[in-house]
Structure formats: C-alpha cells, structure tokens
Structure 1
Amino acid sequence: MLQTTLIDKEISINDKGCFDKYFETSHVLASEMSFTNLFMWKDHYKIRFGIINDFLCIMSVRDISNPFCFFPVGDYNRREELKKTIETLKEYFTSEGWKLVFSRVTKQQLKIFDDIKIEYNATEDRNNADYVYTVKSLSTLAGKKLDGKRNHINKFKKLYTYEYEEISPSNIKDCKNIVEKWYRQRVQSSDETLLHEKIANLGLLENYGILGLKGGLIRVYGEAQAFTVGEQLNQNTVVIHLEKANAEIRGIYTIINQMFINNQWLHMEYVNREQDLGVEGLRKAKLSYNPDHLIYKYTIEVC
C-alpha cells in the first residue's frame, strides 16, 4: 500500500541524511534542490517537508506570499506513484484553501507533468533561471569575451599581496566577519531581504562542517577580504552557494571565483552560479562571465 501521509515538518540539520538520499536518486539541476540551500533559507521561506509514496515533498508556506511546492524528489521511473503523490499534494493544498503551485520547475520536470498527464498552466520564471558555466571556462578565463576578467585579475595581482586558503574551523570566524561587514555596508537600505540573506549566510557558516561543504578564502595583506562556499550538486556540477567580498578591492570577486574553481573543482564539468533574481546589476555580472547555458524554470499551477 502506498504511503500518502503528508508530514508537515520543519527542517533541522539532522534531516541532511534523509534529503541527500532522495537527491541522489534524481539528477537534480536546479540550484535550489540541495539540502544546504533549503537549510540556509528554511526560516525565510518557512520550508516544510514530508515523504509521500517515497517521494520527498518540500513546501514553502510563507505568510506574505502564496504557498508553493518544489517538484517532488525521488525515482521518476515510478510514474504512477509520482502522479498519486501530486494528487495527494493537491488534496492537502485544497484542504488548506490553497491552489497547488509548483515553483522552480525545470524543463525536464515539466516534461514529466506531460508524461503523467497532469493538467497545468505554466509561466516561465526568468528571474530564477540558473547560470551554468563550464569549469574550464571559469578556470582559465580564456577567450576574447573574458578579456576583462583576466585584466581584473592581473591588476589585482599587481596591486595587492594576497594568499588563498581553504575554509576550515580556524578561519570560519573570518568568514562571519566578512558577512557582518557586507551587511553593515548595506544596512541602511530598505531591502529587508538583506537581513534574511545575512541570517542564511551565517547559518551556513555555523553548520559548515556538518553540511560537508568546500570553501576558499582570500587574505589581502593578511586580512580576510573574500570567501566563497560551494558543493557538488549532481554528478557533473558544482553549485556556488555563497560568495562575499570587500567590493572596494577591485578584482577580488573575480580572483576568488577563479581560485576556488582551480583549487577545488577541476574534476567537475560545470559550475552552477545560481540565479540573478531579476536584479539588473547581478544579471549583467552573471552574463559577463559568458555562461554555457541557463537552466530555465517555470511556475506551475495544477488545474
């Protein structure tokens, strides 16, 4: 008999093993679909989860926006069970007075809706499309389109004495200080998401070891000025969860990006640097690295 009980449970660090087990059964592409990302943002998005028919079902139930689900995670060869899982989710959402909406759905997942004959309306969500680059491109910054990036690094190397080191328990505090400084520089902004981002970043750093992450830090004249954190998303892709630096030091973002790839991820094929959220400056910056492709996502309303 199929399990059709929705467990409306909050995420804790102890759930990592459960999430990892399900993520390993499917070749996830979207940057959101990792335990680290969901754990970081669990309070901001009010993430809840349950297991239905051996599919991991993850929801966001924020008060200020409509609740939504991520696409269930599990063995997609079990199409009949997946269809029943979506039907159970619809019953649950209806009982709460909500429409069943799936967010951050990839093209590959969209096709599954068609295969299992679920009726839906789809809207492209360009602001949440992930930017994916080849490891080779970010490692070498070769080619005319990336001339400017190489120039930034060359100028940085001429102007500053610096050193790169892996993130470890001995320098986590330095990373936290960079986050705090980043926040103080922007705290007068009316954008409340800055505080949520700070909390998410510090939560990641507090649990860095347990989450099994990799990271790199750059010191300039001995002082920590930039750091970045990522992990393997799927068999051939690393996802970058976090990158913070002193923007007053020209070229430091470019060099931390390149050095992290060269020191930790040369065995991978792709780098997912997440979305631009519709922020014009961020979109321009991500496009300037000449992405190999974008992972387009959709918002799905089940009929």
Structure 2
Amino acid sequence: MLQTILIDKEISINDKECFDKYFETSHVLASEMNFTNFFMWKDHYKIRFGIIYEFLCIMSVRDESKPFCFFPVGDYKKGEDLKKTIYAIKDYFDQEGWNLIFSRVTKQQKEILDEIGIAYNAIEDRDNADYVYTVKSLSTLAGKKLDGKRNHINKFKKLYSYEYEEITPANIQDCKNIVEKWYQLREQSGDESLSNERIANNKLLDNYEILGLKGGLIRVNGKTEAFTVGEQLNKNTAVIHVEKANAEIHGIYTVINQQFINNEWLHLEYVNREQDMGIAGLRKAKLSYNPDHLIEKYTIEVC
C-alpha cells in the first residue's frame, strides 16, 4: 500500500547509498536535497520515504503541522513515470483528507510540472531561497563590495594567532564542544528551534565519517573556536551544512568561511550556503557576501 511506502519507512544511516543514487540522477540544486540534510533533521521533521515508480519520495509527517512532500527525486526525463508518481501520492493524500503540498520546490522543478501537465498553485518561498556564491568570490573576497570582509580578516590576523585544521575523528569532540557552548549561550531565549538544531548538529557530527563529509576548524591561540562542515551537492557545487564559531572573536566567521573554501572547494565553481529562514540578521549577513544568484523555491499545492 502507498501508506506503507511513504510513511512507514524511516531513514537510517544505512539508506545513504539509496538516497545518493537518486540525488545524483536528478542533479539537485536545492540545499535540502541530500542525504545528510534529511538524516540530521529526520527526528524534527519526522521524515519518511519510499520509492514509487523509481522516484525517491520523501515526506514530513510532523504532528503539529500538516504533512507535506519534497519534490520526487529521480530521472526527470521519465516524465510519464513522474506524473504517475505524483498522482499516486495525491491519491493517498486525498484518502487522508489532506491537500498535496510539495515544499522547497525549485524553479526548475516547477517547470517540470508544467511540462508533464500537472495542475498546481504556487507561492514563492523567499525565506527558503538558497544563497549561491562563486568559489572564486568566497576564496579571494576580491572587489569593492567585499572590502569589509577583507578588513575583518586583516583585523583578525593582527589580533590572533590561529591555525586551520581538517576535521577528523581526532578532533570531532572539539567541534561538539563548540556546539554545546554555542547553544548554552542561547538556550535562555526559549526558542525551541535552537534545541532541534542542536540535535541535528550533533547527529551530523556523530556520523561525520559515514556521511562522507568535509569540514574544517579554527584554533585561536591553541583553542578551538570555530568549525564548519559541508559536502559536494552536485557536480559543480558544494553545500555548507553547519558553521559555528565564538562570535566574541572579531572576524572569525569570515576566516572559517574563507579557509574552508580555500582548503576544500577550489575545484568546484559554486558554494550553496543555504537559506536565511526569514531571519533579518541572517539575511543581511548572507547578502553581505554578494551572492552570485539565489535558488528560488516555491510551495506547490497540486490541484
């Protein structure tokens, strides 16, 4: 039954190979569409998945919100199979009395719906648009628009002695310590999303090797003060999953950002630094790095 296919299969670390196969086939653009993202957030979003007509179908069934799906992942040249997949999901949603909602749908995926003749209503989801930068821009910080970033780095280098290290099993605990300190400083805010993010970050670090991730950390005067983790999203783009640092150290976020690019991603063309989630300060920070483009996303309701 479709219900069994979609809802009863929870993600485990053993599903990475399956997910990777489908993501590679579809050349994903959105930062969400990778196994690491779904695995680290699986408890918060109550992610379920299944394969329908050779498309990977991923669904969120959180108790406090209506279920929704991510756009099916597979070979989009097989338009008829994709169409059958979407109608199969819709039949199930109809039986449950739910509207079929696809969340975080890219412009390119929306155009596929037009090509295969699926009727829908779309609302742009600006808060979840991904910020994409060129590797060259982030590695050099060249140009007048990034003068401020270069100044941050120059001031940091004058004030501190620092070292960059690749993340390995030997220093994973240092990264976990940063996570704990970062959230302890903010836990009094009562923001439940911080607790969920803390769990997701630790799940990522606990499974760092098997997830095939790359990461780097910064030691300032011998003490670990920043770390970041990412992976290759598609053939020419890296995605950054986590970036945490001691904000009291001037310029450290700029330094870890640039150092990670220069040590790990110079062979690629772009870096996807995910969305701003509608947070004003985060939007300002991401725009300040002068993105090359945004990955537009939409919330789609299938008619």
Q: State the TM-score, normalizing by the size of structure 2.
A: 0.98
- C-alpha displacement of 1:97: 1.9
One-letter code aligned to 2:5: L
8 Å CA contact 2:68–2:103 kept in 1: the answer is: yes
- C-alpha displacement of 1:93: 1.1
The 2-side partners of 1:201 and 1:167 are apart by: 14
The reply on whether 1:138 has 2:138 as its aligned counterpart is yes
One-letter code aligned to 1:86: I
- What SS does the aligned partner of 2:44 have? helix
The 1-side partners of 2:172 and 2:194 are apart by: 21
One-letter code aligned to 1:119: A
Poorly superposed stretches of 4+, deviation over 2 Å: 3-8
The 2-side partners of 1:35 and 1:137 are apart by: 27
- C-alpha displacement of 1:4: 11
Which residue of the partner structure matches residue 19 of structure 1? 19
One-letter code aligned to 2:50: G
Which residue of the partner structure matches residue 278 of structure 1? 278
Q: Which runs of 5+ in 1 are unaligned?
A: none
One-letter code aligned to 2:145: K
8 Å CA contact 2:6–2:58 kept in 1: the answer is: no
The reply on whether 1:201 has 2:183 as its aligned counterpart is no
8 Å CA contact 1:5–1:52 kept in 2: the answer is: no
8 Å CA contact 1:4–1:88 kept in 2: the answer is: no
The reply on whether 1:81 has 2:84 as its aligned counterpart is no
- C-alpha displacement of 1:5: 7.2
Question: What is the CA deviation profile of residues 5-40 of structure 1, one whole-angstrom value per residue up to 9, with x for unaligned ones?
Answer: 734211110100000010010110000000000101
- C-alpha displacement of 1:66: 1.5
Greater alpha carbon shift after TM alignment, 64-73 vs 126-135? 64-73
8 Å CA contact 1:4–1:85 kept in 2: the answer is: no
One-letter code aligned to 1:188: Q
Which residue of the partner structure matches residue 242 of structure 1? 242
- Matched pairs, number: 301
8 Å CA contact 2:167–2:214 kept in 1: the answer is: yes
Question: What is the CA deviation profile of residues 99-142 of structure 1, one whole-angstrom value per residue up to 9, with x for unaligned ones?
Answer: 10000000000001101111100000000000000000000000
Which residue of the partner structure matches residue 44 of structure 2? 44
- What SS does the aligned partner of 1:248 have? coil
Alignment of 1:167-182 (within 5 A): 167-182=167-182
8 Å CA contact 2:6–2:57 kept in 1: the answer is: no
- What SS does the aligned partner of 2:227 have? strand
Which residue of the partner structure matches residue 104 of structure 1? 104
Which residue of the partner structure matches residue 90 of structure 1? 90
Identical pairs, percent: 79
Which residue of the partner structure matches residue 129 of structure 2? 129
- C-alpha displacement of 1:200: 0.2
Which residue of the partner structure matches residue 252 of structure 2? 252
The 2-side partners of 1:257 and 1:161 are apart by: 17
The 2-side partners of 1:25 and 1:180 are apart by: 37
One-letter code aligned to 2:20: D
Question: What is the CA deviation profile of residues 148-188 of structure 1, one whole-angstrom value per residue up to 9, with x for unaligned ones?
Answer: 00000000000001100000000000000000000000000
The 1-side partners of 2:4 and 2:234 are apart by: 29
The 2-side partners of 1:280 and 1:221 are apart by: 33
Question: What is the CA deviation profile of residues 222-248 of structure 1, one whole-angstrom value per residue up to 9, with x for unaligned ones?
Answer: 100000000000000000000000000
- What SS does the aligned partner of 2:233 have? strand
The 1-side partners of 2:253 and 2:3 are apart by: 47
Q: State the TM-score, normalizing by the size of structure 1.
A: 0.98
8 Å CA contact 1:22–1:74 kept in 2: the answer is: yes
The 2-side partners of 1:277 and 1:64 are apart by: 19
8 Å CA contact 2:129–2:274 kept in 1: the answer is: yes
Question: What is the CA deviation profile of residues 38-96 of structure 1, one whole-angstrom value per residue up to 9, with x for unaligned ones?
Answer: 10100111111000000000001111111111000000010001000000000111122
- Return closer, same or farther for 1:297/1:199 CA change in 2, 3 Å cut-off: same
The 2-side partners of 1:4 and 1:168 are apart by: 40
8 Å CA contact 1:217–1:256 kept in 2: the answer is: yes
8 Å CA contact 2:6–2:59 kept in 1: the answer is: no
